Chains A and B, each alone.
Chain A
């Protein structure tokens, strides 16, 4: 109960009983309390008018990194003899240094500063504003005012650095890049020979082949390297996610998506992202650093969710991705996903699946006994069969045990040197 109300009731009771019983003592006690409450009324707080500036440094940070928040608060109203200034920070942020609130006396036109350090997990965090609770010295009368001062901290997902990812889409774009385009032209890697055309540089003439024919010359052709359209699909279906005391599998999917985004955009490709979960979060394919930032922002706020419509991959809007482009799916995969992915492959999409292993991830949190062992073996057999089916259809699959760092797993499985990434393999 607020102090003023409590005192009001006591005063009321004492005066009534005092007058009813002709007892001056009770009135004397009431007078003592009346003087006390009157002082609260006299010195009660005036209107609160604050001017606030917020400085966040850095506004963009990696998970766990320290972010400093500074608030400069100026009192443009009347003097406040006791005021509690509280910055309303998002509950997911952890304060590791300083204070988010300050109790002080606030003179007119005076400026106070609140500074603190926070850290947090992946996400975008928005600040609401500063709540000022002003009261008289006895805290009998209060005024509360929220002064909105917006700000945000963008904690981007972890981005492990990976080497160049070899992708082989059937169709590339016109700009030169790093993806072998399956067509001859200027380049570095040998592609084939063709009849000499006038204007071909002499150093391109393949003399060995030309020597076999009397009246013809042949020129070397090289594999053209161009940029490609890449569609990243992040599976955010709740039923695919596994949560243990070590975290969620979805966080690993996010890490993988961020790493590939960084690598593919750096190579000059046109990259789009579809988050497939409770709803569709679609980032249209574009080039460059701005696009990378857009995708990271989507990844920062991505959450798993359940939806009847998007329960399986059947309703995936593939028309958003250009035909014959490269699709990369980040998903632990369910058995029922295989036919849909095979259908997509049949339509001409080059598909790569990066699948964090849910079995080994969950196994680490289960008790070690014969039943767990047997269950794990059965699940692994099922998963191997699923992968076999997908690989038979020409889909590249990386089974990623999340205990291995993603960059290492990628280096082994998808690096340029791997047999899997041979430029003509996809054609055969």
Chain B
């Protein structure tokens, strides 16, 4: 059983600590990305977001993690928009996603009262997160480094498929929201 792991739940292997680590790494990656681009004024924003995230996490404020995850996505997207270095931006996004996910997990543990085999659950969660992110980064890498030249008509068709598909997707998700 994973619950019999010798690592105690108070060790580094706790979702909350991992979320903090991921946030620091995400901020560092975004910082590096914008430093390369010489857009210095973004770095204080990244630091401010990290501080707000930590404050929210310490005070168990529910909205901070999701809000800052959205802002991190915008920072990553803006970096790409201003032709930034893709590697630190995509890695920053990866860590931001991990921080958001792990903070959500630690919050669920907190609300639950009693959690059975917390360590084993955290371990399995982390394993899946790593797998999903590894697959995500491979696919994202393919997107970034393989270029396909398409004309406007194809682009319009893909755009239309994407809009219709995503609209269906979102309406499906809305139905499943409780």
The residues of A with any CB-CB pair to B shorter than 8 Å are 1-6, 8-12, 14-17, 19-21, 23-29, 31-36, 39, 43, 81-82, 84, 98-105, 112, 137-139, 141-144
**What is the bound-complex CA distance between A10 and B90, given in angstroms?**
15
Contact (Cβ within 8 A) A39 B140: no
Give the size category of B's interface with A: 35 or more
Known contacts A5-B177, A25-B144; is A103 also within 8 Å of B166 by CB?
no
**What is the bound-complex CA distance between A35 and B140, given in angstroms?**
10
Give chain B's interface secondary structure class: helix
Show 22 residue pairs from A and B whose CB-CB distance is below 8 angstroms, ordered by the A residue: A3-B66, A4-B173, A8-B170, A25-B89, A28-B90, A29-B76, A29-B77, A29-B80, A29-B90, A32-B90, A32-B133, A35-B135, A36-B97, A36-B133, A36-B136, A84-B111, A102-B112, A102-B114, A103-B114, A105-B124, A138-B129, A139-B108
Known contacts A2-B177, A24-B144; is A32 also within 8 Å of B158 by CB?
no
**What is the bound-complex CA distance between A404 and B81, given in angstroms?**
81
CB of A326 to closest CB in B, whole Å: 53
Say whether B73 faces chain A, with CB atoms less than 8 Å apart. yes
Residues in A whose Cβ lies below 8 Å from that of B141: 28
Known contacts A12-B170, A29-B93, A32-B137; is A23 also within 8 Å of B80 by CB?
yes
Contact (Cβ within 8 A) A19 B170: no
Would you list the 7 A-B pairs with minimal beta carbon distance, nearest first? A25-B80, A103-B112, A99-B114, A28-B140, A35-B136, A104-B116, A32-B136
Pick the most buried of A32, A39, A98: most chain B CB atoms within 10 A of its CB.
A32
Contact (Cβ within 8 A) A25 B86: yes
Residue-wise interface mask of B (47-58) relative to A, using a CB-CB cutoff of 8 A (1 in contact, 0 not): 000000000000
Besides A28-B86, A32-B97, A101-B113, 18 more A-B contacts (Cβ < 8 Å) are: A1-B66, A9-B170, A19-B162, A20-B159, A23-B80, A24-B80, A25-B79, A28-B80, A28-B141, A28-B143, A33-B136, A36-B97, A98-B114, A101-B112, A103-B116, A105-B116, A112-B116, A139-B108
Say whether B70 faces chain A, with CB atoms less than 8 Å apart. yes
Contact (Cβ within 8 A) B147 A24: yes
Residues in A whose Cβ lies below 8 Å from that of B84: 25
Known contacts A15-B162, A35-B139, A101-B114; is A28 also within 8 Å of B173 by CB?
no
CB of B84 to closest CB in A, whole Å: 8
**What is the bound-complex CA distance between A142 and B173, given in angstroms?**
11
Residues in B whose Cβ lies below 8 Å from that of A102: 112-116
Contact (Cβ within 8 A) A29 B140: yes
**What is the bound-complex CA distance between A114 and B11, given in angstroms?**
27
Contact of A17 among B77, B132, B144 (CB under 8 A): B77
**What is the bound-complex CA distance between A20 and B158, given in angstroms?**
11
Closest to B126 in A: A137
Contact (Cβ within 8 A) B125 A137: yes
Contact (Cβ within 8 A) B101 A138: yes
